[in-house]
Structures are given as structure tokens and as C-alpha cells.
Amino acid sequence: MRVERTRLDGLLVLVPEVHADERGFFSRTFDDRTAAEAGIDPRSFVQDSQSRSRQGVVRGLHGRGGTGEAKLVRCARGAVLDVVVDARPGSPTFGHWVSHRLDDVEMRHLFIPAGFLHGHQTLTAEADVCYRIDAEHAPEDDLAVHHLDPELAVVWPEPITVVSERDRAAGSWAHLVSRLGG
């Protein structure tokens, strides 16, 4: 497994080796030594979660206030466009976003440190996204920005088919910035 840096400081792409043959494939989905060498404490993860979504579904943009939460995200089945927004006041890339295709072919993972918003759109008929999270869920610290916020201008590649009521009601980037003091 190798680690690639991104233009958002702290956001990492972990690229595993996928060994394919006539049976299918084998891939290590986590390696604590590689994680530690990249600055990720492999013992910090306290929850594993999984979502399944249909094509066009958008989940996010979500984050966590307070001390935040770090996530290790991968797509175990299908493909998603994963979007990460820097919501760390004082960061030189505050308000910038990047996207990465995560799929069940290349098996890339994103390490998303605390202080970022995260969301994804399903690109295939169905997709399963797996999350390793370093903090227990604390609903009172939930942050959300509307997925179509004009100031962020995230480009979703597919027509958006379904969004949760919570995500439809999410506030603006400007509102979050004022809340964060950024």
C-alpha cells in the first residue's frame, strides 16, 4: 500500500495493491504500519460503518464540530465520486474542495482528518461505502452544508436522484463559516 498526498494538507489517498487473477482479486484494505508511517494512528478508529446507495444519490456534505472526527473511507462495491471540503478556519485551503473517484477496482481509500466536510455521489447502479471513524457519533456536533451550495460550487457528475431530508435542509457554506469563526 502506498500513500499519496493531496492539495489539501492532511487529506491522504491510500492506494493498495490489487492482486487479480482468474478467481477475482485479493487486496489488503488496511495496513497499520503504512497508516502509522503516514501519520495515522491505526488504534484511533472506534467505529466502522457502511452505507449503500443507488445511482445518483448524494450523501453530504457532512462534518463534525467540537474536536471533529477523522475518517478512512473506501468504496467496497461500485463507484462513487467522493468530495472533501476543507472546513478548518485558518487553513490556507479553507473552503477549497477536491474530489476523488473511489471504486471497487482500484480500491483507493481516503484518509480525511478532522476539520473537513465529506460527501459522495453514487456513480454506479449501487455502491457500498465503508468508513472507519475515530470518534463516537455525537449528534450535537453534526455539521452540514447543502450539497448545491453556490459558494462551494461542487460539481456532481451525475443527475442527483435522491437526497435525504436532512441534507436538503442543510445550511449554506456562509452560515457554517460564521459558526466556525472562519
pTM for the full model? 0.94
- Is 62 a residue of the active site? yes
For residue 137, the model assigns a pLDDT of 87
Per-residue burial over 23-44, b if 16 or more Cβ lie within 10 Å, else e, is eeeeeeebeeebbeebebeeee
CA distance 94 to 104: 30
For residue 66, the model assigns a pLDDT of 85
Annotated catalytic residue, options 62, 109, 120, 146: 62
User: Which pLDDT tens digits describe the chain residue by residue (182 residues)?
Assistant: 999 999 999 999 999 999 999 999 999 989 999 999 999 999 999 999 999 999 999 999 999 998 899 999 999 999 999 999 999 999 999 999 999 999 999 999 999 999 999 999 999 999 999 999 999 988 899 999 999 999 999 999 999 999 999 999 999 999 999 988 76
- Is 96 a residue of the active site? no
For residue 67, the model assigns a pLDDT of 87
In the chain the domains, ranked by start, together with CATH numbers, are 2-180 (2.60.120.10)
Annotated catalytic residue, options 19, 118, 120, 131: 131
